[in-house]
Structure 1
Amino acid sequence: MASATAEQRLTLDIEGMTCAACSTRLEKALTRAEGVREAAVNLATERAVVTIDAGETDLPSVAEAVSRAGFAVGQETLSFAVEGMTCAACVGRVEKALRNVPGVFDANVNLAIERAHVTFAHRCADAEKLADAVAKAGYRALMLEPEEGSRQAREQAQLDRERRVLILSAALTLPMVIGMTLDVLGYEDLHVMPSLEVALATPIQFLIGLRFYRGALNALRGGTANMDVLVALGTTAAYGFSWYLLQTLGEEADGELYFEASAVIITLVLLGKYLESRARRGTTAAIRALMELRPETARVERADGTEAEVPIGLVRPGDVAVVRPGERMPVDGVVTDGASEVDESLVTGESVPVAKTAGASVTGGSINGAGLLKVRATAVGEESTLARIIRLVENAQAGKASVQRLVDRISAVFVPCVVAVAAVTFLGWLVFSGDLETSLIAAVSVLVIACPCALGLATPTAIMTGTGAAARAGILVKDVAALEQAHRVDTVVFDKTGTLTEGKPHVVDVRAGAMPADEVVRLAASVQQGSEHPLAGAILSDANDRDVAPSPLRGFEAVAGRGVRGHVDGHRVTVGSAAFAGEAASVDDAQLAVARGWEDEGRTVVFVCVEAESSGTAQVAGLIGVADPLRETAAEAVEQLAALGIRTSMLSGDAVAVAERVGRALGIGEARGAVRPDQKAAVVQGLNEQGRVVGMVGDGINDAPALAAADVGIAMGTGTDIAMETAGVTLMRPDPRLVAGAISASRATFAKIRQNLFWAFVYNVICIPLAAAGYLSPTLAAAAMALSSVSVVGNSLLLRRWRPAQ
C-alpha cells in the first residue's frame, strides 16, 4: 500500500469544457485513472482538483487522462537565466532538479546561452518554487520575463477569439436572415438564392461549427453526451435536410430550405457562449482583484546600501524591501524604518488607513501612504497572507455543494434523454401528420432548446460570486461545506475575550493586604512570565508601568481555566480565581466583597496568594482588578444576529457575575461564566444534541476544540497573525458584525442557487414540451437556449452587490 506521504494534490486548469456533462465525464475519467485517489471538476472555474498517489502516477499521466477524455490541461512557460553552469553535467543536474518540481511537464536548459525554459501546469508550480529547485541544485536562477499566458491573459485571449468567430458567423448568417425576413414580408423576389445559401451556410456548419463536432465526438468517445451533441445533431439535421431538398428538387426547393436555420442556431449558440464567458469572468472578479494586489517586482535593499528591483518570486524572508509612497507592499513583513499610513482595505476590508511605524506588521498587497517604509520580509510567495487568502477563496470556489452532486447526476443522463425525446417527437409527428419536414423541424427544436449548461452553472457561479463578495468584505470561507452549513446556523456562541471584547485587558485596580501594591504586582508578574494568557500580559504590562522588575521563576505550573503557580524569591505564589487561591490560603469575607463589587462592574478579579516556603504560612496578598473593554460594534453585532432570527450565547472563563454583566450589556440571551477551555467544546456539543445548528466564534487558538465541535467555526483575527486553517470561516478584521455578515452572505448565496436551479429546471420542463409540440421554431429555440445559461450566470452576478450590514 502506498504511504500517506506519497499523496499529492494537484489543482489543474482545464480547457475545452462546455457544460455539466463535460465536467462529469472528466471527473469520471480522472477517478478511473491509475493512481488517482480523488478528483473533483468544477465547470464554472474550469478547474480540476486531483489527489494522486505520487508513487503510482504523475502529472503527465494525469494530463494524458485529461487529454483522452477530450480536454487539455492549461500550461504556461517561464524562462530563467541560470548562473554557475560550467559543463553538460550541470545542464543535466538543473534539468533534473526542475523536472522534479511537482507540476512541471518539461524543462530544457541551454548551456551556451545559460537559459532554462520550463513548461508547467498552471497553479502547480511558480517562479519561486522553480528558483528554489535550481538553488538547491547549486546554481542561481534569475527570471528573465514575467509568466507567459497568465490565467487572466488567457481568458481575455479566449474571449477575443470567441468574439472574432462570432462576428464572422454573424456576418455570414445576416444575409440569409435578411432574405428570410423579406420573404416573410412578401418580397419574394428579394430572397437569397439557394446556391448563395449553400455558400454562406457551409462554412458556418463545417468550419465555424467544427468545435461542436469535435466536442460531440470527444463526448461520445468517453461514453457520454453533452451540449455539443445536441447542437451537432440539430444543425446537421437542418443542414442535411436542406441539402437533400436542394439535390432532389433543384431550384424548385427555393423558399423551402432550412440552411438559415442551421446557421442561425450556430450563431446564436456562439453568442450565448460569448455572453456566458463574459459573465463568468465577472464571477472570478474577486480572485482577479486579489491577484492584482501582488506587485510583480520588489525594490530590495542590498548589504552595501544600494537598491535593486528584483522579480517578486526571488524575494526571500529577511530581505529588506523599500516601499515608496503610493506603492503596494510586496511582502508580509515588519517595518524597520519609517512611518506612514497603510490602506489594507482590499486585504482586510477595513476602509480606514492604519498607522505604521517601526516594529509594526504590514501585509503584502496593502497600499503605502505618504511616507517611505523599509520592511523586513517575514513571509513571501505561497506563505504570505495574500497568497493564503487567494488559496482559501480558490478552494472555496472550487468545491461542490451537495446539491451540485445531484445536478451532476441529472446532467449525466439529461442529454441522452433529450435525444430520446427528439426521436419520439420525430416519429410521433411523422406517424400522425405524415409530414417529414414538420417532423424534422420539431425534433431539431427539441434538440436545440434543451440546455444542460444552465443546470451545470447554477450552483458554481453562485458559490464563486458569493465567496468572492464575502472575501471583499473581509470574510474568508474555507470551503463549500462551511458555506453550506453557515446558511443553516440558528445559534451563535461567542467566546468573550478577543471577540466581544478588545482582547487587550489592562489592570485598573490593585487592592493590597499586608504588603505594598507594587510588591503584589511584582510577585504576580513573576509567576505570569510563564503564561500566555491575556491576563498575564495585562499584569506584566502593569509591572512594567510601575517600573517593577519580575524575579526569576521556578516550578511553573498552569491549571487550565483556574490560574498559575510557581516559586519566586522563596515564596510559593498562586495567581488565579478565588477558588484556586482558596486552595492555598483562606479568603476572608472582605476580600470576597471587594471581588463581588469589581465583578458587578464587569472586571475580572485575580487573586494573588503568597506562601512562605520557610514557615509554610499562606495569605491572600492582594487582589488585582483587570478590565477588557467591549468592542464598539459588539452590541450592534448581537442586534444584527437577532434580526436574522439567530439566538446568541456567550462563554467566558471569567466569574459568572462578570459574564452575566457583559451578557446583559450586549443583549445576549445566555451568558455562561467560569467555563474552562476544555468545557467549551462540550457546551457546543450539548447545543448540537438539542438540534441546534451552531456557529462558534473565537480567536481560533484557545478555542480550537470548540471551533472544531461547532457546525461552523468562525475565527476572528487581524488579517496577519490569524489561524486561517482553524475554522471554516475566518474574519480578516476583529469586527463581530462580520459574524452576521458571514451568515448573511451564505444565505444570499444559497438563495441564488435555489433561484438558478428553479429557473434551469423550469426552463427545460416548459420549453422542451413546447418545442416537441411544434410551437417553437429552431431559431427561437436556439435563442431561448442561448439566453437561459446567460440568465443563470447574470443572476449569480447580482451577488456582487452584496455588502455586510454596517
Structure 2
Amino acid sequence: MQTGSIDRPPSQIAAAAEARQIDIGIDGMTCAACAARIERALAKLPGVTAANVNLATETARVSGDTGLSETAIADAIIRTGYGVRQQHAQAASSHAAPSADTIALDREIVLLIGGAILTLPLLLPMLAAVLPATMAEALTAPLWLQIGLATALQIGLGSLFYRGAWKALRSFGSNMDVLVALGTSAAYGLSLYLALPVLFGEAQHATHLHLYFESAAVILVLVRLGKWLERRAKKRALSALDALKALRPETARVRRHGQEADVPLALLRIGDIVIVRPADRLPADGKVVAGQSAVDQSLLTGESLPVDVAPGDRVIGGALNGNGLLEIEVTALGAQSMLDRIQQMIADAQGAKAPIQKLVDRISGRFVPAVLVVALVTLIGWLIAGAGIETAILNAVAVLVIACPCALGLATPTAIMVGTGTGAKAGILIRDAIALETAQHIDSVAFDKTGTLTDGKPQVTSLVTAGGTTEADALRLAAGLQRGSSHPLAEAVLHLASERDIVPAASTSAEALPGRGVAAAVDDTRYLLGNSRLMREHGLDVGSLSGGDGATRSYLAALDPQPRLLAALEFADGLRPTAKPAMADLQRLGLTSLLLTGDNAKAAQRIASDVKITNWRADLLPGDKIAAIEAEREAGRHIAMVGDGINDAPALAAADLGIAMANGTDAAVATAGIVLMRSDLRLVPAAIDLARATGRKIKQNLLWAFLFNALGVPLAAFGLLNPMIAGLAMALSSVFVVSNALSLRRWLATMKVRYAHDR
C-alpha cells in the first residue's frame, strides 16, 4: 500500500538475530516523492532490513534487528525534513477530545476561506474583456492592492509549500512542494517584475498590464483545497479503525473483595469480575459467570443480529450489551484481546505494500525530477520559438503545477485502505495487501470438512434398538454412561436425552476405555457404550445394527447375565446452514470448489453430495492435503484453502491464499491471509468478491493517474493549458482517486443483499 518500499538483500535479513518492527507516524508528507525519500533515509540506518512508508496513512513501518531504536528512526525522519508523531499516544487519547486531524482540517478550512476572499479582487479584472471600459476599470483593484494581496497570499498560503520545498532541496530531493513553489513563485515573480515599474510611475491602475497574480493565487487556493479534500477523504477511509477504537469504554465496573468500583481499563487484571449493565459496552474479553443477555457484536464480527449469552459463554470486549445484567470474568487484555487483534490486523493490512505498488514506487521516485526537466525544456523551447518571456514562463508553470504525482501515490493505498476497512465491517479481516491482491486471482477453493463445512458438533441422527429395548430405555442408559464426559459424542447423547426430557441413569464404577468407549454399572448390571472394536472384544457381532453410509456409530451393550446388544446410536456432523448458499455463490463467481478431509470416504461423499461438490478427497493426513493443493497449483489453478483446525494450518500455508474461520485454532488463524470473523461460509465468496472489487478500483485509479499526467503534461508544455486550470485539474485528480476508492464502501450494502440473505 505504500508509495514505496526498500528491502535489504535476504542475506542481510537472515543475519539479523531477531526481527523487530517499529511503526511511527510522519507529518509533512505531500506526495509519493516524499515517501520515497524517507524510505531511502530509513533504509540506510544500521540494522534496518526493510522500510515501508505509507502516504495514505502517513506512517512508516521499519523492520530490523534488536538494536533498532525508535529514536534513531525518528531522528532520520526529522533529518530528512519531516515531523514525527507517536501512534500509541494518539490512539490512547480521550475519545471526547478532537483528534489532531480534525483540528488541522478545521484550521485549514479557515485559512482556505480567508485565501479565497483575498483572491477574489485579483480575479475580478478577468471580467474586463467582456465589460464596458468604465466598469472594467472600476472592478480593477489598485496596483498596490493587487501586489499586497498577492504577496499576502504567497506568504500565507504558499508558506507550506516553501517549507516543504526547502526541506526537500536541503536533502537533495524534490517533491510536490518544489513544483508548486516554483510554479507559483514564477507567476508571482513575473507579475511583480512587470508591475513594480508601473507602481513607481505615474499610473495608479494597471488595466493595460498583463499580470498573473491571480494565477499564482488561484493555484495556491486550489492546491490547498485539493489537499484539504484529500485529507478529509482519507480520514473517512480510515473510519473502520476509528470506529473500532471508539468501541472500548474508558472505565470498567469491577468487583474486588466484595466491593464494586469503576476503574480505568489500564488497571484491569486477568481474572477480574466486571459488571456490565444494560446498554453498556463490554470492557474486555471474558467468560460470562452470571446473568443472561443479548450482545451486539456487529462492529466486531459483522453479525447483524445480537447473540444470546449465558453463563459459560465467551464474549468479546467492545460488544454492546442488551437488556440483561452480566458478570464477566476477564480472560484477555491488551494485545491479546480480540478488539486489539482486529485493530492490528486492519492496521497491518492498511500499512502493507501491494505488489503492484512496486511499479508505482519506481515511477514516483523519478517523476518529480523528470517534470523539472520537462518544465525547463518547455521554458527554453518557447523562448527559442520566439515567444515572449511571459508565455514561456506561464507554460512552464502549467507543466510544474499539473504534473504533481499525488494521484499516482494515492491510487493504490487508498483503495486498499477502504477495501480492508469495508471488509472488517462485513466480518472479513484481510491480513495484508498481498493477500488482497492474491484473492483477486483465485479460481479454485478447497474446504476442510469438520468444523468448516460442518459445524463440528456431532448430533445423534439415528437410534436403533434390539432385543426388545425401547428407545427411551436405551437413551437413558447411554446418557447415564456418558454423564460427566466432555467428549463431543457424549455431549450429543446428553443433549438428545435433555431434548426428550429423559433423566440419565445413575451409573457407578465408570471406566474410560481409550479409543474404544466407556464401561459403567447401572443397577448392578455392567454396560458398554463404544465402537465396533469394543463390541468385538466382548464377542458381540454388530452386523445387524451396522450401517453402510460412513456415519459414526456407537453401540450399547449389556454384559450381564451374558453379553447382548441393546442399541446402536448414529452420529453425524451437522452441515452449516450457510454451506450450500456459499457453494452456489462461488459457482456464480466462476470458482470451482473441492473438499479435502481426513474423514472416511463415505462421510466425505455424503457431505460433498449435500453441498454439490463433485471433486472430493478423503482419508487425508495434513501432508496429503498439501500434496492435493500442490497438484491443483501444478494444474495451473490459483487455489485458496478454507479451514479451522491445527491440522489445516499446513494446507492454509501451502495454498495461494489461506482463509481461516475465526472460531478456529490459533495455528489456523496465524497462517491464514484472510480471517472470517464469524462462522458464515458465505463470507468466503464475499471476501473474493471484495478483493476483486478492490483490484478494479486500484486499476481504475492507476489508469486515471497515468493518463492524467500523460495527457496533462504535454498539453501544458504546448501552451494549451492555463496555469489556473492546471491547478484545478491537479487538485481534482487527487480528489477523484480518493473518492473513487471511497465508492468501495457501497460494496457493503451489495454484500448484505448478495451474500448475507437466507436461501
- TM-score, reference length from structure 1: 0.82
SS at match of 1:691: coil
Query: How has the CA–CA distance of structure 1 residues 519 and 123 changed in structure 2, closer, same or farther, with 3 Å as cutoff?
Result: same
Is 1:297 matched up with 2:243? no
Q: Which residue is equivalent to 2:9? A: none
Name whichever of 668-677 and 769-778 sits farther off.
Answer: 668-677
Change (3 A) 1:520 1:125: farther
1:174 aligned onto 2:126: no
Query: Alignment partner for residue 266 of structure 2, among 303, 309, 313?
Result: 313
- Equivalences for 1:463-478 in 2 at 5 Å? 463-478=416-431
Q: 2:152 aligns with which of 203, 220, 239?
A: 203
Mapped to 2, the partners of 1:410 and 1:569 lie a distance apart of 76
- Letter of the 2:112 partner, please give it: L
User: What is the distance in 2 between the residues matched to 1:550 and 1:463?
Assistant: 62
Distance 1:451 1:694 in 2: 40
Residues 741-779 of structure 1: CA deviation (Å, up to 9, x unaligned): 100110110110000001111111111111111111111
Distance in 2 (alpha carbons) for counterparts of 1:401 and 1:585: 63
643 and 584 in structure 1: CA distance in 2 versus 1, 3 angstrom threshold? farther
Contact 2:652 2:668 in 1 (8 A): no
Indicate if the aligned counterparts of 2:254 and 2:272 stay in contact, CA closer than 8 A: yes
Whether the 8 Å CA contact 1:169–1:204 is kept in 2: the answer is yes
What are the within-5 Å matches in structure 2 for residues 37-436 of structure 1? Answer: 37-55=49-67, 57-74=68-85, 121-123=86-88, 147=94, 153-183=99-129, 185-186=131-132, 187-189=135-137, 190-248=139-197, 250=199, 254-305=208-259, 307-436=260-389
Q: 1:719 to 1:330 in 2, by over 3 A?
A: farther
C-alpha distance after superposition, 1:606-647 (max 9, x if no partner) = 46799x9xxxxx999985411222222211111110000000
- Distance in 2 separating the partners of 1:535 and 1:341: 29
Q: Distance in 2 between matches of 1:423 and 1:391?
A: 46
The 5-angstrom pairing of residues 732-771 of structure 1 reads 732-771=677-716
Alpha-carbon distance in 1 for matches of 2:293, 2:511: 40
Q: For 1:41, what is the secondary structure of its paired residue?
A: strand
Q: Is 1:791 matched up with 2:736? A: yes
What is the CA distance between 1:451 and its match in structure 2?
A: 2.5
In 2, Cα distance between equivalents of 1:412 and 1:633? 48
Q: Is the 8 A contact 1:748 1:799 kept in 2?
A: yes
Q: Which residue of 2 aligns with 1:100?
A: none
Q: Is the 8 A contact 1:700 1:727 kept in 2?
A: no
Q: Alpha carbons of 1:19 and 1:550: their partners in 2 closer, same or farther (altered >3 Å)?
A: farther
Cα separation, 1, equivalents of 2:725 and 2:130: 16
Question: Contact between 1:704 and 1:726, CA under 8 Å: does it hold in 2?
Answer: yes
SS at match of 1:321: strand
Give me the whole-angstrom Cα distance separating, in 1, the residues matched to 2:366 and 2:17.
38
Aligned-pair distance for 1:677?
A: 4.0
Indicate how the Cα distance of structure 1 residues 51 and 702 shifts in structure 2: closer, same or farther if over 3 A, else same: same
Residue aligning to 1:640:
585
**Superposed displacement of residue 482, structure 1:** 1.1
How many angstroms apart in 2 are the aligned matches of 1:171 and 1:61?
Answer: 44
Distance 1:551 1:184 in 2: 107
Q: Per the alignment, do residues 589 and 469 of structure 1 end up closer, same or farther by CA in structure 2, a change over 3 Å counting? A: same
Residues 123/725 of structure 1: CA separation in 2 closer, same or farther (3 Å cut): farther
Contact 1:348 1:719 in 2 (8 A): no
Deviations 1:319-351 (A, max 9, x none): 111111111111111112222111111111111
Aligned-partner Cα distance in 1 for 2:170–2:491: 67
| In 2, Cα distance between equivalents of 1:679 and 1:539 | 33
Deviation digits for residues 167-194 of structure 1 (CA, Å, limit 9, x no counterpart): 2221211110123334554543121222
RMSD between superposed Cα atoms in Å = 3.5
Residues 350 and 433 in structure 2, CA contact (< 8 A), matched pair in contact too:
yes
> In structure 2, what is the equivalent of residue 691 of structure 1?
636
CA distance in 2, matches of 1:605, 1:763: 64
Paired residue for 2:547, among 595, 604, 616? 595
Q: 1: distance between equivalents of 2:114 and 2:633? A: 60
SS at match of 1:594: coil
Q: 1:34 aligns with which of 34, 37, 46?
A: 46
Q: Deviations over 1:402-461 (max 9, x none)?
A: 111210110011111111111111111111123111111111101011130000000000
Aligned to 1:91: none
Post-superposition shift, 1:246? 2.1
Q: Deviations over 1:206-255 (max 9, x none)?
A: 23211111111222233321111110110111111112222345567653
Q: Is 1:776 the equivalent of 2:721?
A: yes
Distance 1:512 1:28, change over 3 A: farther
* Distance in structure 2 (CA, Å) of the matches to 1:587 and 1:458: 72
* Residues 184 and 380 of structure 1: CA distance in aligned 2, closer, same or farther (over 3 Å): farther
- Give distance in 1, aligned partners of 2:692 and 2:395: 41
> Which amino acid counterpart does residue 594 of structure 1 have in structure 2?
S
> Residues 344-365 of structure 1: CA distance to partner in whole angstroms, max 9, x if unpaired?
1111111111112222221111
Moved more, 618-627 or 355-364: 618-627
Residues in 2 aligned to 1:585 and 1:668: alpha-carbon distance in whole angstroms: 40
Q: What is the alpha-carbon distance in structure 1 between the residues aligned to residue 405 and residue 64 of structure 2? A: 30
Q: Which residue of 2 aligns with 1:101?
A: none
Aligned match of 1:17: 29
1:585/1:214 CA distance change after superposition, 3 Å: farther
Distance in 1 (CA, whole Å) between partners of 2:508 and 2:638 is 47
Q: Distance in 2 between matches of 1:231 and 1:474?
A: 43
Match of 1:7 in 2: 19
Shift of 1:687: 1.1
Deviates more, 1:674-683 or 1:634-643: 674-683
Q: How many residues align?
A: 717
1:605 is aligned, of 552, 555, 567, to 552
Alignment correspondent of 2:3: none
2:247 match: secondary structure: coil
- Deviation at residue 300 of structure 1 after TM alignment: 1.5
Shift of 1:66: 0.9
Is the contact made by 2:644 and 2:663 (CA closer than 8 Å) also made in structure 1? no
CA contact (8 A) 1:520 1:622 kept: no
Give 2:136's aligned amino acid. Answer: E
String of CA shifts for 1:535-557, please: whole Å, max 9, x gaps.
Answer: 5754686799744769676895x
Alignment check: 8 A CA contact 2:661 2:669 kept: no
Separation in 2, partners of 1:771, 1:404: 27
Counterpart residue number, 1:492: 445
Equivalent position of 1:90 in the other structure: none
Task: Measure, in 1, the Cα distance between the counterparts of 2:717 and 2:218.
Answer: 19
Q: Which amino acid aligns with 2:231?
A: S
Shift of 1:727: 1.2
Task: Show CA shifts across 1:671-723 (max 9, x none).
Answer: 33333344222222221121111111111433111111111111113499895
CA contact (8 A) 1:451 1:789 kept: no
Q: 1:301 to 1:404 in 2, by over 3 A?
A: same
User: Compared with structure 1, are the counterparts of its residues 304 and 535 closer, same or farther at alpha carbon in structure 2 (3 Å cutoff)?
Assistant: closer
Change in Cα spacing, 1:708 to 1:7, as seen in structure 2 (3 Å) is closer
Match of 1:234, SS?
Answer: helix
**In the superposition, relative to structure 1, how do residues 594 and 456 fare at CA in structure 2: closer, same or farther (>3 Å)?**
same
Measure how far apart 1:734 and its partner are: 0.7
C-alpha spacing 1:200/1:124, structure 2 compared with 1 (3 Å): closer
User: 1:548/1:449 Cα in 2 relative to 1: closer, same or farther (>3 Å)?
Assistant: farther
2:535–2:555: 8 Å Cα contact kept in structure 1?
no
Following the alignment from structure 1 to structure 2, what is the Cα–Cα distance between the partners of residues 201 and 347? 52
TM-score of the superposed pair, with normalisation by structure 2: 0.86
